[in-house]
Amino acid sequence: MNPYASPSTRKQWYHIVCALYRNRALLNVPATARFCERAIAEACSSPGWMVDTVAVTPSQLRLLVLAPPGLARDSIICAIRKPASNAILRSGAIPPGHRVWGDKAWCFGIRTEAAVNSIRNHLQAISASGSKRRRPATSVEWPSAVTR
């Protein structure tokens, strides 16, 4: 599907970044992250949007979305945050009544295909590195002191 085909079918690419409240690592559980991804994909499919790539890090949510042009950035961010908040609360990652999202969220409109490909590759790299969780450092046994 060519989003730049005709004015009646034209759509705009958006890169969205949402940070969790106080950079809490709520999405470090893989099941919570997948649950959040599915909730966002279902919510975005109803208004005719297409979620192309999702990168979930423990404290951030990053998306590449194809949506109709001219939408207000606040409405795009709210449309992403609401289903993600519900998914995080239903998973039990935080108690009800606590804040999920921080004050900062970014939504960038992307105009060129090269920029879309670059962001898509970056998000896929984040997703690939996120699946390889860092293991805690193992303790190193130092040789005992040599007695003279």
pLDDT along the chain (148 residues), means of 10: 52 91 78 84 84 87 90 89 87 81 87 93 86 41 46
Nearest residue to 61 via CA among 44, 95, 85, 92? 85
19-33, pLDDT tens digit by residue? 888 877 777 777 788
Q: Residue 75's beta-bridge partner residues?
A: none
Q: Is residue 146 helix, strand or coil?
A: coil
Q: Which H, E and C letters describe 40-102, residue by residue?
A: HHHHHHCCCCEEEEEEEECCEEEEEEEECCCCCHHHHHHHHHHHHHHHHHHHCCCCCCCCCEE
Supply 121's token pair: 């590759």
pTM score of the predicted model: 0.74
Q: Specify whether the CB–CB gap between 100 and 87 falls below 8 A.
A: no
Strand order in the sheet with 12-20: 50-57, 60-67, 12-20, 101-110
